[in-house]
A and B are shown apart, each in its own frame.
Chain A
Amino acid sequence: MRAPPSTVRASKLVTNAVAVKSETASIAATKSGHELLLFEALREGLEEEMERDPRVCVLGEDVGHYGGSYKVTKGLAEKFGDLRVLDTPIAENSFTGMAVGAAMTGLRPIVEGMNMGFLLLAYNQISNNCGMLHYTSGGQFTIPVVIRGPGGVGRQLGAEHSQRLESYFQSVPGLQMVACSTPYNAKGLMKAAIRSENPVILCEHVLLYNLKERIPDEEYVCCLERAELVRPGKDVTILTYSRMRHHVLQAAKSLINKGYDPEIIDIISLKPFDLHTIGNSIKKTHKVLIVEECMRTGGIGASLRASIMDNFWDYLDAPIMCLSSQDVPTPYAGTLEEATVVQPPQIVKAIKQLCG
């Protein structure tokens, strides 16, 4: 069953619980700039790119006249027309394939999965055609598609609507994958993903759409392969992404009060990892905690731990700790769902264990 309108309203209500304003919001803490919500930032980035390049088009379910189930494309169909903001029937496999075919001729489509979990139906097109055609055609075709949509555990949406697909896509060669976590990086990554010649998966999170932040008025584009240093520190490196960034920041308040000095890095780029930024941090702190929302088995954390061990073994003073979601389908009951995902108290406990 697709996300009913009541869920959209529900996610507006829980804003405060999740929208922890980041203490060191990267750049725009000044009076200039404008304030907006994360979904508006995505829309702004999308609109700017559509104005800039007529080949950019959007397709997905209810993106046009309905304005998008999370309002990311609201108003765009009226502005750019039905062909550029295309309402598709419920046929993920086929419209993803269609986007890949269109990209082969030079168009730059953005595929919206109403929920990332639905894109499992399109896995064949994403893995085999999207990821591989540049290689198997000997470079003849480029596939500049952006595949985006909300994923992650929401508010009691049930198991099938609480999926984290970043772990499934991370080993597909030819794909690039990023996760946005604030309005600033959401807009920047959207623009960068559209401009990239490679297929990019932009992972958004259901619970972060109503995050508010002040972003610059001037145009900016983030780097798809660079991690974000959220808070410099010297005791321990905490690597995280998407919603867990906010849980980490919440835990950090408590940790700082207790005298710890964590360095918090939002890895942003899930494929490939920004080992440069991560490595520099590890060389400074010598301890690593990974906090992620995907499952423990075969998750982003599993890959990241392996990469860190391969490259920075000599700099580690302690085994790499990793906090991930439980390896279970997400239950419906609120208390159980809370227990599936990593919560701030667990992060505090882990840091105490790691740092002493």
Chain B
Amino acid sequence: MGIRFILMVNKQGQTRLAQYYEWLTLEERRALEGEIVRKCLARNDQQCSFVEHRNYKIVYRRYASLFFLVGVDNDENELAILEFIHLLVETMDRHFGNVCELDIMFHLEKAHFMLEEMVMNGCIVETSKCNILSPIQLMDKTS
């Protein structure tokens, strides 16, 4: 099933966005997030962007203070996910203009809408920034 979850966590380890594509109980989520955030945040630039954790592989990327962590199946293409993160960031950038942690915090719903346009049930739906953003722009216009 490809993508299992997408997390955005700042460098203090606070979750800014969490989207799961498989059902985990709250306790499981808390434990999982705690463990992987600890693992990933401790890594440096010289290390690779992949961390194995339980039966997941975490592909992560850091942008300033914000970490994007994507949990995938073991046979998922790691580099493709790594660039998908970048596509997500570029898309948010196009919408917010120089996106930062606060944009995601205070426009949680927009971040969710964007993700919703890009990923569905753990599969990639859309990779064109125009197409991803057009429903959101439509809403912005009518409001």
User: Do A and B assemble together?
Assistant: no
